[in-house]
Amino acid sequence: MVTGALPAPKPFRSPYLYHMRTFALLALFCLGFVFSSSAQQMAGNRGCATAAYVSAQKAAHPYLEQEQQQVQQAVQDKLQQQRKWQNMRALNTVTIPVVFHVVYGSEEENISDEQILSQLEVLNADFRRHNADAVNTPSYFAPYAADTRIEFCLAALSPNGDPTTGITRTQTSQAAFSFASDYIKKSPQGGKDAWDTSRYLNIWIGDIKDDVLGYATMPGTTLPQLDGVVLHYTAVGAAPANQFNTAYNLGRTATHEVGHWLGLDHIWGGEDASCSDSDGISDTPNQETYTTDCTGGIQISCDNGPYGNMYQNYMDYSNDACMNLFTHGQAAYMNAVISTSRNRLLSSLACSASIRSDFGLAQEGDTLTVAGKSVQFAAAPEGVRATAWHWEFEGGVPGTSTQENPEVTYPRPGKYSVKLTVSNGSTSDTEVKEDFVHVTVSDLTVYPVPASDYLYIEQPARILVRHVELLNSVGKTVLTAEVRNRTLQLDVHRLPPGIYFLRLVSTNGTEIRRVSIVR
């Protein structure tokens, strides 16, 4: 080993794989026998229930396994495209909107805005490596410490576009919440429903049972309405705003759990004491098990000398005062997650005072319709609440509208664009969707009749033609075609003039049309 170097890269193990336990363990988990032991892991020390929580989700929803694999593959593909992540200066800074949901049963649990705002400061400092204790990173690990280029902003807009403080408060009759039930995220059970999880990082704060300080959903392993991070109220923010006298009052529980939310695993891998697993990140030393305190010095395991365990990493279980870095590899992984499975956050306007125009249909379906039918549109802007709408409908009746959800009739076949400008008095935005509405003929149409060079077959929206044959007057097939578009063009200029029969096989059955070809 070269003096001063980290151990050789660990064999790759997906950061998701350690959540996969044996069927027997999952079955016991679902029956409720291991909730307490899985959650507590280390009584009196940092209690992270993310691994147990994800396992429970997968046991209850088997299809999540496949979704997780798809997300993992997308992240790996992204990392393959960006092999030079170590040059973090080349990365754009991304900002994630955050909403905090305080769910409280007592005044102690109803923590102050000051404590919550201090948590936001800690997240930004830790993820940008602006944390004051970055100077405590040992010199031998300092080259691996990264500015992740990830920032967090307090939501300024609610999902419906109204101004918000970015903090909700819900009084509950629940004495405490269990990660197993996840009731803190469910209004009917005394919790608080999530805001749109594609536009916000939802962080719930409450009293969590079983000595759990926090847990998180990981990308690809959650139901959308449950996506986010949960924190025990005593572990939120940093002293002096956090007045709870514990080893976890510097806000690092949130840093740790948001790391999970962005795809990172515990630094020691999936087993509590093993050198055969990994966190899947090449620049974190292989580590046998978690760190339960902050003893200092070099702690060697798994032949990871000369510098030993990176217990200063936010993804260990060290005390808050001992944590101070993410690595370049961890930063790369989190950015790849944001670029793939969490990419809708990149376009969120939740922290801005701007507006973005968008629209669709009032009811589910596509914009393929027949001539003479009406289509109802629905404005769906993002950002501040819209107060005015101006629509323009190419080929439609009416041609313009100021209604929020207008109904428009299209009398003639064709493809037409739709334009919507939304405003709220101080700001506006316009969206144009070309060929958004496709209007077909009202009945299956064959033209021209007679034909000379080309014969066209146009099908209406409600009929799908699958196969076409052209037969001569004695019943011999002279042309065949598979239909891939609404309008099919048959080249007949080489056929002799005469009477032909067109056989159309569609969702309406088989139909025969008589056509003539002239010269």
Q: What residues are labeled active site? A: 257
Measure Cα distances from 64 to 87, 164, 222, 374 in Å. Answer: 34, 33, 7, 39
CA-closest candidate to residue 381, choices 430, 435, 416, 343 = 430
Query: How many CB atoms lie under 10 A from the CB of residue 81?
Result: 9
For 436, the enclosing helix (H) or strand (E) is: strand 428-440
Which DSSP state fits 342?
T
Which DSSP state fits 385?
P
Amino acid at 100: F
- 481 phi-psi bin (left φ>0, alpha ψ -120 to 50, beta other): beta
Q: Quick check: 214 and 234 in contact, CB under 8 A? A: no
Strand partners, 334: none
Residue 100, C-beta contacts closer than 8 angstroms, at least 6 positions apart:
116, 119, 154, 166, 167, 168, 203, 204, 205
Amino acid at 7: P
What does the CA dihedral 506, 507, 510, 514 come to, rounded to 10 degrees? -50
Whole-angstrom distance, CA of residue 146 vs CA of residue 250: 20
Residue whose token pair is 């032909």: 500
Tell me the torsion sign for CA atoms 108, 114, 119, 120. positive
Residue 240, C-beta contacts closer than 8 angstroms, at least 6 positions apart:
none
Residue whose token pair is 């146009």: 458
Whole-angstrom distance, CA of residue 434 vs CA of residue 333: 37
Burial class (CB in 10 A: 0-12, 13-18, 19+), 130: exposed
Q: Quick check: 101 and 170 in contact, CB under 8 A? A: yes
Whole-angstrom distance, CA of residue 241 vs CA of residue 225: 30
